[in-house]
Homo-oligomer: A and B are copies of this chain.
Amino acid sequence: MSSFRHAMLTLLAREPLSGYDMKQQMNSRMGPFWKAGSNQIYPELVKMEEEGLVELEVVQQHDYRPARKVYSITESGRQELKRWTMERAEPETIRDEFLLKAYNLWLADPETMMLRLEEKKKEHEEKLRIYLDKVSELNGLLDPSNPQDPILSSLSVVEFGIEYEKLYMKWCSDLASKLKNRQ
């Protein structure tokens, strides 16, 4: 059920990782598509190992450091991920705090809201930049002879992100100029 554990399987289907690595990847590679804290990751990995979805190899490091616990997906985990991937996804709710604030634009000071729109636009401009860099990076890693290269799937998702950021930026600009004309 929970898509959090499927997000973890998603990462492990591509390469073995430690819990620490997964946290890093969720907050960078998967970009802001999925995030998680260590409190969710570590206990969930223990459960997933008990259920045979992943397996564990403990790698010793320097003495002063906790051993790295590197998890790999099992055949059963891969099957489960494939099954879940092909299942219908429920419709999502956007639930964006800034949009909720925009719904209250009429009762706020126009000058402040102009500022907020500019800040938001810059924030999404920055995300766009990151995604564009990621596309170049992924294109470099792409194996053009393999039509089932996971990189192709990564690219599709990042491309969604790029269009989304562009849309958000345009919406901010348009709304800001409407606000200006209203004054």
Q: Footprint of B on A, CB under 8 Å?
A: 3, 6-7, 10, 13, 30, 32-35, 78, 81-82, 84-86, 88-109, 112-113, 116, 119-120, 123, 127, 147-150, 152-154, 156-157, 159-161, 163-164, 167, 170-171, 175, 178, 182
Contact = CB atoms under 8 A, between A and B. Distances in A.
A140 B100 CA distance: 22
Contact of A93 (B10, B32, B89): B32
Contacts of A105: 85, 152-153, 156
Which one of A3, A86, A149, A152 has the greatest number of beta carbons of chain B within 10 Å? A86
Contacts of A106: 148-150, 152-153
A116 B34 contact: no
Contact of A34 (B95, B157, B167, B182): B95
Chief secondary structure at chain A's binding surface: helix
A103 B157 contact: yes
A146 to B, nearest CB: 9
Given A82-B107, A149-B106, A171 B175 contact: no
A99 B154 contact: no
Q: Which 10 A-B pairs have the closest CB atoms?
A: A89-B98, A85-B104, A105-B153, A106-B150, A89-B97, A86-B112, A106-B153, A147-B182, A85-B108, A32-B93
A32 to B, nearest CB: 5
A123 B35 CA distance: 26
